[in-house]
Amino acid sequence: MTAPITPLIAGNWKMNGTSVSLGEVRNLADRLAAGTPPRCTIVICPPATLLERLSEIAGPAGIVTGGQDCHTATSGAHTGDVSAAMLADAGAQYVIVGHSERRTNHAESDATVRLKALAAMAADLIPIICVGETEAERDAGEAGSVVVDQIAASIPAEWTGKGIVVAYEPVWAIGTGRTPTSADIAQMHLTIRRELETRFGERGSAVRILYGGSMKPSNAAEILAIANVNGGLVGGASLLANDFHAIISAV
Ligand code: 13P
């Protein structure tokens, strides 16, 4: 039998946050210290400019940190980019790759996402590999096949290292306040689990599959109770300690 999966709640701050926002992390650390121990791994992915300072505050509170993206290369002439090794050097243990905002705004293909996941592993980071269908694809009844194709092409076959995390984020649910029904989430997460097990056997059974898209304190408990939902990737509601702590407590 496979060991139970420890859930993971990850906050993706996106392009939000300056020094002032570090106060939210101190606030979260205080709340965690005052309450019962969380039943999940907690990750915060701040903008790269805050990663090192945030890691210093988060570490003693048992919160780990991650980057929001990395380049496929280790170093070189790539103005404005950040490598996985640089994120690790700044304290990160995770990195999000293939977020739909990167896929859309920076035209990242599955092939690029796969190379980024490999770069993350080479730097000893755990990639959080994001997949998800657009609204048009869901309306056309293609959600399952789109996600399966993304998984096939974005997750490296030569996956090694500490592991991977998959985040299912329906594009139409991100920042919109809309979420799929629990039945739709259950169906997609089961599809993803089967795909991972077909490709990776027992290792696929142990991969954490996160749900992301308008997760908030009011819907977290219901979503996190769905089979094969092993945590959440939280955008807007991760910016305030109050909301993020409520989601962590819903695990
Ligand atoms: P929201 O929680 O703001 O919908 O964002 C989800 C997301 O994109 C996390 O990566």
pLDDT digits (tens, 9 = 90+) for 198-236: 999 999 999 999 999 999 999 999 999 999 999 999 999
> Of all helices (H) and strands (E), which one includes residue 51?
helix 51-58
- What's the predicted TM-score (pTM) here? 0.97
Distance CA 187, CA 12 (A): 24
- The whole-chain average pLDDT of the chain stands at 96
Atom of ligand 1 nearest to the CA of 101: 8
Distance CA 185, CA 171 (A): 13
Q: What is the pLDDT of residues 6-64, one digit of tens each?
A: 999 999 999 999 999 999 999 999 999 999 999 999 999 999 999 999 999 999 999 99
Q: What is the pLDDT of residues 67-119, one digit of tens each?
A: 999 999 999 999 999 999 999 999 999 999 999 999 999 999 999 999 999 99
DSSP line for 185-208: HHHHHHHHHHHHHHHHTHHHHT-E
Distance CA 203, CA 124 (A): 18
Active site residue 158: no
Query: If we measure between CA atoms, which residue out of 70, 1, 64, 79 comes closest to residue 32?
Result: 64
Domain spans, the chain: 15-37+48-63, 64-73+80-215+230-239
The CA 1 to ligand 1 mean position distance, Å, reads 33
What residues have CB less than 8 Å from 66, skipping those under 6 apart? Answer: 10, 43, 44, 45, 87, 92, 93, 94, 95, 96, 125, 126, 128
Residue 111: other Cβ atoms inside 10 A: 11
Q: Which of 71, 99, 189, 245 is catalytic?
A: 99
Confidence of residue 162 (pLDDT cuts 50, 70, 90): confident
Active site residue 99: yes
Task: Flag whether pLDDT at 153 surpasses 90.
Answer: yes
Identify the CATH number of the domain defined by range 64-73+80-215+230-239: 3.20.20.70
List helix spans (H) across 65-216: 84-89, 100-105, 110-122, 135-139, 143-154, 182-200, 202-205
Kindly state if the Cβ of 97 falls inside 6 Å of ligand 1: no
Atom of ligand 1 nearest to the CA of 167: 10
The CA 233 to ligand 1 mean position distance, Å, reads 7
Q: Which of 95, 169, 179, 239 to mutate to test the pocket of ligand 1 (most atoms within 8 A of CB)?
A: 169
The reported pLDDT for the residue numbered 132 is 98
